[in-house]
Amino acid sequence: MQESIDRARGLIESLPYMQEFRHKTVVIKYGGHAMVDENLKKQFALDIILMKHIGINPVIVHGGGPQINRLLDRLEIKPCYVQGMRVTDGETMSVVEMVLVGKVNKEIVGSINHCGGKAVGLSGRDGDLICADKLRVNKKNDEAMKDAPPELIDLGRVGQVTKVNPEVLQALDKQDFIPVIAPVGVGEDGQAFNINADLVASAVAGELKAAKLILLTDVAGVQNEEGTLLRSLKQEDLEDYIDNETIGGGMIPKVRCCADALSRGVQKTHIIDGRVEHAILLEIFTREGIGTEIV
């Protein structure tokens, strides 16, 4: 009996958050271990369906780097990275689009629909949803060349978001569909661009003025040098944390994506551990939440 009472108390605790976020948009970047573990994949689908049924509008943007690498390896195409970004020539772009749009996206959509939801898969090329142009990156000069003019690095068809056209997402929301977006953009020439999924999620959240942007990762959140989780950070303090190396490595682009989303009108952003069961529900519907919030 006590276990049943505790469940009822949990539901009552979540009621104010259900009321607060009803008819609001939550953009979720889906990636990492949560996309690999079969149990976590099913839980993710059920969490998304629950959100939709109680009136929240979830929008999913997914990654797929490991899946791309596996197919490249099978095709004997050696991946190349510059400053952590995949160099994407024409052949690699075909593989990227095949995996992200043709395989990973459809698996996520199928999982949600199989569990009783109504999901629709999209890429940034559908309805010109994600417009992009070529990402330009400067080569880092060493100390001896610090006064030399910067040299551009050609990353191929790696893009940056220039515009999000939300009409297709708004139409799907009116019909109670759940959008699942592959991070492939379209350029002025009509060709595809490979775009970092965090950047796409941030841009989509900003355009939709989402109540929350949630990034699923394989870490507990932003941690200091002692490994202590930082539960809440302010946007204006992020660069100081980066300068003093409290925030470093792969967490830097994630917190900057959060900062950009906040600048575009998103109310709150979160970096949470997707390895935790029902991580999204714990963040949205509990008083303590999990991970790191950036506001």
Quote the pLDDT of residue 271.
Answer: 97
Q: According to the per-residue pLDDT averaged within each range, which of 5-14, 49-58, 78-87, 133-142 is highest?
A: 49-58
Q: Which residues pair with residue 162 across a beta bridge? A: none
Is there a contact between 153 and 138 (Cβ–Cβ < 8 Å)? yes
Instruction: Quote the tokens at residue 5.
Output: 């009472």
**pLDDT above 70 (res 78):** yes
142 vs 9: which has the higher pLDDT: 9
Quote the pLDDT of residue 104.
Answer: 97
Half-sphere exposure for 235 (CA within 13 Å, toward CB): 15
Confidence of residue 146 (pLDDT cuts 50, 70, 90): low
Quote the pLDDT of residue 84.
Answer: 72
**pLDDT above 90 (res 3):** no
For 150-174, write each residue's pLDDT tens digit.
Answer: 556 788 899 999 999 999 999 999 9
Is there a contact between 68 and 98 (Cβ–Cβ < 8 Å)? no
**pLDDT above 60 (res 285):** yes
Query: To the nearest whole number, what is the mean pLDDT of the chain?
Result: 91
For 88-99, write each residue's pLDDT tens digit.
Answer: 999 999 999 999
* Percent of the chain's residues with pLDDT above 90: 73
**pLDDT above 90 (res 182):** yes
**pLDDT above 60 (res 2):** yes
Instruction: Quote the tokens at residue 140.
Output: 């880092």
Which one-letter amino acid corresponds to residue 230? L
Instruction: Quote the tokens at residue 141.
Output: 């000069």
Q: How far apart are the first and last CA of the chain?
A: 40
DSSP H helical ranges for 88-245: 90-99, 105-114, 167-174, 197-208, 238-243
Domain residues of the chain, as ranges? 22-294
| Choices 3.20.20.20, 3.40.1160.10, 3.40.50.620, 3.40.50.300: CATH for 22-294 | 3.40.1160.10
* Chain-centre distance for alpha carbon 192: 19
Instruction: Quote the tokens at residue 162.
Output: 């220039």
